[in-house]
Structure 1
Amino acid sequence: MYINITDSKTANNKGSSGELVHYLEKENRIENKLEQEYWFNAKGRRFEPYEVRHAIDGNVAKLGKADAKFFLINISPSQKELKHLTDKYGVTDIRDQLKCYAERLMDEYARNFKREGVNSAKDLLWFGKIENHRYYGFKDKDVINGEKKRGELKDGNQLHVQIIVSRKNVTNSIKLSPMNNSRGKNEDHSKKLGQFNRVAFKQCGEDLFDRTFDFDRQLKDKMAYANIQKNGNLEQKMQLDVINNIPDNKPLLNNLVNKIGNGEFPTLDDLISKSNHTNIFELLLAPSFEPEPQGFEKKIKRKKKGNSLDQGIGR
């Protein structure tokens, strides 16, 4: 599951949302479809682009010219996740399921700010839109290797959701910035913008998908696992090696890898003491060497008494 928050896509988010709304309408303009893809949110499923632009642009009280007015959230399920949804709900229902998932994800987005009066998707001003295609960008490996060109359509099922969310809450009275990095450490700053942990939000979105759709995500496919492998320190990677050897216990493993990723275990000893799981003790107490093959000792005993190997052992 790829979830990303950006200041903008092709439009400057310090001005009108019109350019971004127009960009996200591209499939409605290009494709010859009998039915258009409408915008949706927690209050409806059939919003026109002009309604989206008018609502977002009108929700900017006390924001200066240099302030961000809106943000773009990209929700892109993987090919495995999309296949799971297709198998479970069929081609026709998958779009409605993604819309419901997006709404629940925006509930988590709201709660992540930890601001009084901002508790659910209904407390936010946002609009989502289903898109069918994705395009190769200049950062894609296939483009870098010269196998594809920038702007070409990607193969396979590329269904995903784009969400425009206002910087201000639905009452136009509270500033909310997901780009705030204080995570609650700067109390005054957090009171103004809300504390927001983007890593925790993305992890929450992954866990929400798994719970909602009964998706059996393997440990090594988790965002937290990949993030530790790529950006984790030595202690975190050592802890990952330990839990990799724990017998299959999905709730426990998911919980541990998330906590390791969040830095809740500064050392391996902390992992042991705070996790309170006997399997970890057993793994660490197990011998670090592999036992010799059966019959090895018997072969040594059959050596003659003057043999150098016997002499070495006797010393």
Structure 2
Amino acid sequence: MYINITDSKTANNKGSSRELVHYLEKENRIENKLEREHWFNHEGRTFEPFEVRHAIDGNVAKLGKADAKFFLINISPSQKELKHLEGKYGVLDIRKQLKCYAERLMDEYARNFKREGVNSAKDLLWFGKIENHRYYGFKDKQVINGEKKRGELKDGNQLHVQIIVSRKDVTNSIKLSPMNNSRGKNEHHSKKLGQFNRVAFKQFGEDMFDRTFDFHRQLRDRMAYANIQKNGSLEQRKQLDVLNEILEKHPQGTSYENSLVNEITNGEFSNFIDMISKPDYASIFELLLAPTFEPRSPDVSGKKKRRKIKKIQQTLNR
């Protein structure tokens, strides 16, 4: 699941939303379909582009010329995720499910600010739109290698959601910027502008998709996995490597997976021993030793448990 927030996309967000709304209407113009794809939010499913533009451009009280007036949120399920939705709901119902998912994600967008009076999508001014296609850009590997041209349609199911959300809340009185990086470190600044943790927001979107649609995500496909491999400590990468080995050998251990990966990401464990010492997770690590040892009895001796820990540590140090 790719979720991204940007303050500038195709059109400058310091002025009118006209250019961005026009750009996101491109499929309705190009494809000339009998049934157009309308804009939606928590209040309705058939908003026209002029209604979106008028509402966003009119919700800018006390914003200066240099201030952002709106933001764009891109929600792009992967090919695996879209295939799962198609199998679960059928081709015709995927759009409905993605719209409901987007609405719930905007609930979290509101809560993430931790501002009084901003608790759900109803407290925001936002509009979403389903798009059917994606296009190759100059950064894509296929364009760089000369295999595709910029602007060509990408193959496969490319269904995704684009959301325009106002900088101001629905009452036009509270400023909300998802580009604020304070995350509560500066208390005065956070109270004034609202803190927003973009990493936590994206992680919530991935977890919510998995819970809502009963989607099992492989560890290597997780956002947390990529973040740890890129930015994590050596100890975190070791912990993740052992977890990955366990899950490859014993898929039945995945009931702990979400919680454990998130705790590794948050640096909850200073070392491997801390991780397996937590009562909730001790049993999953014993799965790594299942082919070697006899099945664990309800009463495992301390000596046997220490042998198991030593064996896992050897795996870590390989």
TM range (shorter): 0.7 to 0.9
Say yes or no: does 1:221 pair with 2:221: yes
Distance 1:289 1:45, change over 3 A: closer
Distance 1:289 1:75, change over 3 A: closer
Q: Distance in 1 between matches of 2:15 and 2:100?
A: 29
In the other structure, the counterpart of 1:286 is 311
In the other structure, the counterpart of 2:258 is 254
Range 184-193 or range 97-106, more displaced:
184-193
Distance 1:266 1:189, change over 3 A: farther
Range 111-120 or range 258-267, more displaced:
258-267
Contact 2:275 2:281 in 1 (8 A): no
Report the Cα offset of residue 31 of structure 1. 0.6
Q: Could you tell me which amino acid in structure 2 is paired with residue 100 of structure 1?
A: C
Q: Distance in 2 between matches of 1:122 and 1:177?
A: 17
Q: Distance in 1 between matches of 2:48 and 2:165?
A: 16
Report the Cα offset of residue 183 of structure 1. 0.7
SS in 2 for 1:111: helix
Report the Cα offset of residue 273 of structure 1. 4.5
Range 250-259 or range 111-120, more displaced:
250-259
In the other structure, the counterpart of 1:176 is 176
Task: Map 1:106-121; keep pairs closer than 5 Å.
Answer: 106-121=106-121
Q: CA RMSD in A?
A: 1.8
Q: Could you tell me which amino acid in structure 2 is paired with residue 242 of structure 1?
A: V
Task: Map 1:236-315; keep pairs closer than 5 Å.
Answer: 236-246=236-246, 247=250, 248-274=252-278, 276-279=280-283, 280=285, 284-286=309-311
Question: Unaligned regions of 5+ residues in structure 2, if any?
Answer: 287-304
Task: Map 1:44-193; keep pairs closer than 5 Å.
Answer: 44-193=44-193
Q: Distance in 1 between matches of 2:278 and 2:116?
A: 31
1:160-206: CA deviation from partner (whole Å, max 9, x where unpaired): 00000001111111111111111111111111221111111111001
Aligned residues: 290
Q: Could you tell me which amino acid in structure 1 is paired with residue 192 of structure 2?
A: K
Say yes or no: does 1:207 pair with 2:207: yes
Greater CA radius of gyration, 1 or 2? Answer: 1
Contact 2:143 2:149 in 1 (8 A): yes
Q: Could you tell me which amino acid in structure 2 is paired with residue 255 of structure 1?
A: S
Contact 2:256 2:281 in 1 (8 A): no
Contact 1:219 1:254 in 2 (8 A): no
Q: Distance in 2 between matches of 1:253 and 1:156?
A: 30
Question: Unaligned regions of 5+ residues in structure 1, if any?
Answer: 291-315
Contact 1:13 1:70 in 2 (8 A): yes
Q: Distance in 2 between matches of 1:213 and 1:139?
A: 31
* Aligned-pair identity (%): 81
Q: Distance in 1 between matches of 2:312 and 2:96?
A: 53
In the other structure, the counterpart of 2:300 is none
SS in 1 for 2:138: coil
Range 115-124 or range 225-234, more displaced:
225-234
Q: Distance in 1 between matches of 2:137 and 2:33?
A: 26
Report the Cα offset of residue 148 of structure 1. 0.7
Distance 1:147 1:183, change over 3 A: same
Contact 1:11 1:19 in 2 (8 A): yes
SS in 2 for 1:35: coil
1:214-240: CA deviation from partner (whole Å, max 9, x where unpaired): 111122211111221122221210121
Q: Could you tell me which amino acid in structure 2 is paired with residue 104 of structure 1?
A: R
1:52-100: CA deviation from partner (whole Å, max 9, x where unpaired): 0110011111111111111000000000100111111111111111101
Q: Distance in 1 between matches of 2:80 and 2:175?
A: 37
Distance 1:5 1:286, change over 3 A: same
In the other structure, the counterpart of 2:194 is 194
* TM-score, normalised by the number of residues in structure 1: 0.87
* TM-score, normalised by the number of residues in structure 2: 0.87
Q: Could you tell me which amino acid in structure 1 is paired with residue 78 of structure 2?
A: S
Q: Distance in 2 between matches of 1:287 and 1:92?
A: 48
Distance 1:285 1:21, change over 3 A: same
Q: Could you tell me which amino acid in structure 2 is paired with residue 207 of structure 1?
A: D
SS in 2 for 1:286: helix
Contact 2:17 2:53 in 1 (8 A): yes
